């Protein structure tokens, strides 16, 4: 059911910003109160637009949107909550932010609030901006690595409702000898059930459990080999259960 036409306020992150027509922009937003929102910002590319430069990807904004009968809402006011200037100055952080927003675009397409997913995205962008340092040195690049990217991805998968089973065999419930992962089964599998899965090292398994159990800023570290297995586990889970394919995490 489409909501009644009218104005509403929401906080949102710009996932994608596309030039449209002579002077407009079309925005793909992830909002705090309505999930995915598509919006048009009329005249926003004119030199003296009241929106300034804040309708760019990774901006966190306070918005007033007007909903008419069309598919797109119209942006009537936009104030910056955070522009993440440090993130914009770092190549690795920009790349990580782009992959994070792309994952949200692909995985969370419903117009339904998902506060867990929204807060997670805001938290990750703040970390990439260096507001809270992973390495403790005030630099956001520490958050742009493969480990934090996969911790973000795991938490996003959890928020989207596709968390893998990690406590016991996803096929038979066995609690010991968990040494494989099956995307089809949706979690770790024991030796007897491993045939449709791939080998998952204890290190990769531990990373997944710890990443899901800790705040993003305390993401665990792991070897590159273990992280590749984690990435594969996440990818195969989403392909089987969400029918979504994500870009490489790093
Ligand atoms: Zn089993």
What's the 146 CA to ligand 1 centre distance in angstroms?
30
pLDDT at 196: 81
What's the 244 CA to ligand 1 centre distance in angstroms?
26
pLDDT at 1: 47
What's the 183 CA to ligand 1 centre distance in angstroms?
14
pLDDT at 69: 84
pLDDT at 143: 87
Whether the Cβ atoms of residue 63 and residue 77 lie closer than 8 Å to each other: yes
Alpha-carbon gap, residue 178 to 190, rounded angstroms: 4
What's the 192 CA to ligand 1 centre distance in angstroms?
6
pLDDT, the chain, mean:
92
pLDDT by residue (tens digit) across 150-196?
999 999 999 999 999 999 999 999 999 999 999 999 999 999 998 88
pTM, rounded to two decimals:
0.93
What's the 239 CA to ligand 1 centre distance in angstroms?
21
Pairing state of beta strands 73-82 and 35-41?
Answer: parallel
What's the 41 CA to ligand 1 centre distance in angstroms?
53
4 pLDDT tier (thresholds 50, 70, 90):
low
What's the 169 CA to ligand 1 centre distance in angstroms?
5
What's the 172 CA to ligand 1 centre distance in angstroms?
4
DSSP secondary structure, 178-239, as one string = EEEEETTTTEEEEGGGGGGSEE--HHHHHHHHHHHHS-GGG-----HHHHHHHHHHHHHHHH
pLDDT at 249: 87
What's the 25 CA to ligand 1 centre distance in angstroms?
51
pLDDT by residue (tens digit) across 76-125?
999 999 999 999 898 999 999 999 999 999 999 999 999 999 999 999 99
**Tokens at residue 128, please?**
């990439």
What's the 127 CA to ligand 1 centre distance in angstroms?
38
What's the 188 CA to ligand 1 centre distance in angstroms?
9
């Amino acid at each position: 059911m489409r909501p009644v036409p009218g104005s509403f306020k929401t906080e949102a992150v710009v996932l994608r910003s596309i030039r449209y027509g002579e002077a407009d922009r079309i925005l793909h937003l992830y909002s705090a109160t309505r999930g995915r929102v598509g919006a048009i910002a009329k005249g926003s590319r004119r030199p003296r637009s009241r929106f300034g430069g804040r309708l760019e990807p990774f901006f966190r904004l306070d918005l007033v949107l007007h909903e008419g009968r069309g598919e797109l809402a119209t942006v009537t006011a936009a104030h910056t909550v955070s522009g993440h200037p440090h993130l914009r100055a770092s190549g690795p952080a920009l790349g990580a932010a782009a992959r994070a927003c792309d994952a949200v675009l692909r995985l969370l397409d419903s117009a339904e609030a998902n506060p867990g997913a929204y807060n997670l995205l805001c938290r990750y962008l703040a970390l990439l901006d260096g507001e809270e340092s992973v390495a403790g040195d005030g630099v956001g690049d520490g958050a742009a690595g493969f480990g934090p990217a996969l911790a973000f991805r795991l938490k996003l998968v959890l928020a989207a409702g596709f968390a893998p089973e990690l406590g016991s065999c996803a096929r038979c419930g066995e609690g010991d000898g968990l040494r494989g992962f099956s995307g089809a089964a949706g979690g770790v599998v024991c030796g007897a059930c491993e045939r449709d899965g791939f080998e998952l090292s204890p290190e990769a398994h531990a990373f997944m459990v710890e990443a899901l159990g800790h705040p993003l800023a305390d993401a665990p570290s792991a070897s590159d080999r273990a992280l590749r297995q984690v990435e594969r586990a996440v990818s195969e889970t989403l392909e089987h259960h969400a029918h979504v394919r994500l870009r490489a995490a790093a």
